[in-house]
Amino acid sequence: MVSPELFHCNNNPSMAKSGFRSKSSFCVSDGCLFLGGAFAALLLVWSFSSFITPSPESASNFESVGTKSKSVSGSRNVADSLRCAADSAGPNLQYDPPERNFYDDPELVSYTMAQPVKNWDEKRREWLLHHPSFAAGALDRILIVTGSQPSHCKNPIGDHLLLKFFKNKVDYSRIHGYDIFYNNALLHPKMFAYWAKYPVVRAAMLAHPEAEWIWWVDSDAAFTDMEFKLPLERYKDHNLIVHGWTHLIHEKKSWTGLNAGVFLIRNCQWSLDFMDVWVSMGPQKPEYEKWGQILRSKFKDKMFPESDDQTGLAYLISEEKEKWADKIYFEGYWEEIVVTYDNITDRYNEIERGVGALRRRHAEKVSETYGALRDQYLKDAGNGFGSWRRPFITHFTGCQPCSGSHNEKYSEKACWDGMQQALNFADNQVLRKYGFVHPDLLDSSVSPIPFDYPS
C-alpha cells in the first residue's frame, strides 16, 4: 500500500481556487487524481517486483538480496532485517539491577594493588547472574588494554607514532568486535617503567567482570595480521599466554626467553594471585633492590641491575614451575620480521589470484570469514622464523618511539623505517576494505585499487 504521506496535497488557501470549480470539474479532478495515484502505485509495485525478482540477465551475475531473505533469521523478510530499531539480543548497556553486588561493599574489593582481592570467581559469577544479557559469549569476551605515559613524548615524532600504533589496535579491535581501553595515567606512583601496566590490568579486571580475558599489548607493538583471531579454545586449560620459548628459560636461563610486552591473562582469581606474587618484585616493595640482585644472579644475560617484570616472570616460570604451570609461549622479533613484509604480500597476492572468493569485495564486519577461508591455503606457509605467513604481532622491542632512545644494536633509521613498514603493512589489510592501499610500505600515501584486485 502506498503511504498517503507520499502524495500529500498542498492545502495552502492562497493556492486554491475552489470558487471557480464546478461539480463536474471536481469529478474530473478526482478521477485524474485516482488514476494518477493508481498509476503511481502500480509503478511503485513494479519497481519493487523488479528488484525482488531480477531479470535473468542480472541474475546471472548477482544474487539478489530478496532471494536470500530466507537465510536471514529464518523467515524474516528483507525489510525486517534492515530495520533501524535495534531489537536483537545482546548485552544491555542501560540496565544495572538495584541488588547489591561486590561493587557496593568497600571491604570486598579495591582497585589498587595494595589490597588483595578474594573470591573473585564467585564475584564475577554473581555479577553475570545479575546481568544475564552479558552471560552469552562471556567465555570468549576479550578486553584489549594498552597505554602510554601521561606526559608528551621527548621524541618529536613520538606522539604521532603512538597515535598510529593506537589506530592499529583500534582497527584490530573493531574488526573482531573487541573492546579496547587506552590508559595514559600512572595508577600507582611507585610502579613506573616496566611495572606500570600491572595496576592497569588489575583495575581492568575489576572494571570488566563481563570479560573473560584481559589482553595487554604494549604501545610499541602492532597487529600485523588483521584477520587472525586468537584460538581461545586452545587456551581453555590455561590462564596466562605470553610470547616466548620455554627452552630458553629452563635450559639457557635467558631473560629474553619471553616477552612480557604482550600477554593474555584470564580474568580470574588465579590471575589476581599470580600478579600479586609477580608485582611483589616491583619498585613499590622494599625488596625491590634485593630482587634485582636475585634475578641477575639467576639470569646471567640480564643487562641491567633493576628488577623488571620480564625477568620476574621468567623467574616464576623457572623456579616455581609446578605452581605456575598454565602457560603458552610464542614470539617473533621485529628485526627478523619487517624484511619479509614485501615477500609475504607477494605470496598472499599469488594465492588470491588463484582464489576468486578471496578477491571478492566485502564489508569489513565479515573479515573473519575471509581469514578462515584464507587459512586453508596457508598450510605450507610454516610458523615462526622463516615462515611466509603474516606475523600476528610485531613488537618493536629495543625501539622506544616515545623517548627516541633505542637499543644500540639497532640504528635509529632501522627502528623508524621498521615501524612505518609494519604499520603500513597492517593498514593495507584495513584500507583494502575501503578501496585503497599503500603501494610503498615506506610511504604513507595511498592509491585506489581496481575491481578484482589483485587479478
Residues 261 and 365 placed together within one structural domain of the fold: no
- Does the structure show a pLDDT above 90 at 386? no
Residues 158 and 132 placed together within one structural domain of the fold: yes
What is the structure's pLDDT at 326? 53
Residues 191 and 202 placed together within one structural domain of the fold: yes
Please write down the long-range contacts of 395-398, taking CB distance under 8 Å and 24 or more positions apart. 395/218, 395/220, 395/221, 395/222, 395/243, 395/259, 395/261, 395/262, 395/332, 395/333, 395/334, 396/220, 396/221, 396/222, 396/334, 396/422, 397/220, 397/259, 397/261, 397/333, 397/334
pLDDT by residue (tens digit) across 415-426?
999 999 999 999
Is position 85 within any domain?
A: no
Q: Compute, in degrees rounded to 10, the torsion defined by CA atoms 328, 333, 336, 339.
A: 110
Measured CA angle at 138 (ends 134, 140), to 5 deg: 145
Residue 121, amino acid: D
List the one residue out of 392, 352, 389, 353 whose CA is nearest residue 373. 352
- Selected residue with higher pLDDT from 173 and 23: 173
Query: Which residue, 307, 332, 357, sits at the end of a domain?
Result: 332
Quickly count: other Cβ atoms within 10 Å of residue 74's Cβ.
Answer: 7
pLDDT confidence tier of residue 33, bands split at 50, 70 and 90 = very low
Pairing of strands 142-147, 213-217: parallel
Residues 327 and 352 placed together within one structural domain of the fold: no
Residues 218 and 356 placed together within one structural domain of the fold: no
Is position 414 within any domain?
A: yes
Residue with cell 592497569: 200
User: What CATH number is associated with residue 136?
Assistant: 3.90.550.10
Residues in the chain: 455
Residues 317 and 428 placed together within one structural domain of the fold: no
Which residues pair with residue 221 across a beta bridge? 395
Is position 165 within any domain?
A: yes
Query: Which residue, 296, 314, 332, sits at the end of a domain?
Result: 332
Average pLDDT, the chain: 81
What is the structure's pLDDT at 22? 39
Residues 179 and 300 placed together within one structural domain of the fold: yes
Q: What is the C-alpha to C-alpha distance for residues 119 and 142, in angstroms, rounded to an integer?
A: 21
Helix and strand numbers, DSSP H then E, in the chain: 15, 10
Residues 343 and 287 placed together within one structural domain of the fold: no
Q: Is the dihedral of CA 85, 87, 88, 90 positive or negative?
A: positive
Q: What is the C-alpha to C-alpha distance for residues 266 and 238, in angstroms, rounded to an integer?
A: 8
Q: What is the C-alpha to C-alpha distance for residues 423 and 44, in angstroms, rounded to an integer?
A: 49
Is position 187 within any domain?
A: yes
pLDDT by residue (tens digit) across 133-167?
999 899 999 999 999 989 999 999 999 999 999 99
- Evaluate whether 268 touches 239 at the Cβ level (below 8 Å): yes
pLDDT by residue (tens digit) across 58-98?
333 333 333 343 444 444 454 454 444 444 578 999 999 99
Residues 131 and 222 placed together within one structural domain of the fold: yes
pLDDT confidence tier of residue 217, bands split at 50, 70 and 90 = very high
Q: What is the C-alpha to C-alpha distance for residues 427 and 121, in angstroms, rounded to an integer?
A: 38
Q: What is the C-alpha to C-alpha distance for residues 441 and 160, in angstroms, rounded to an integer?
A: 17
Is position 441 within any domain?
A: yes
Is position 377 within any domain?
A: yes
Q: How many distinct structural domains can be found in the chain?
A: 2
Measured CA angle at 432 (ends 426, 436), to 5 deg: 105
Q: Per-residue pLDDT averaged across 182-205, rounded?
A: 93
Query: Which residue, 298, 332, 366, sits at the end of a domain?
Result: 332
Is position 256 within any domain?
A: yes
Residue 373 lies in domain: 335-448
Q: What residue ranges in 369-411 does DSSP mark as E strands?
A: 393-395
- Alpha carbon 235 to its chain's center: 18
Residues 155 and 237 placed together within one structural domain of the fold: yes
Is position 38 within any domain?
A: no
Residues 363 and 293 placed together within one structural domain of the fold: no
Residues 318 and 407 placed together within one structural domain of the fold: no
Alpha carbon separation from 302 to 254, 295, 311 (Å, rounded):
8, 8, 8
Helix (H), strand (E) at residue 364: none
- Evaluate whether 140 touches 212 at the Cβ level (below 8 Å): yes
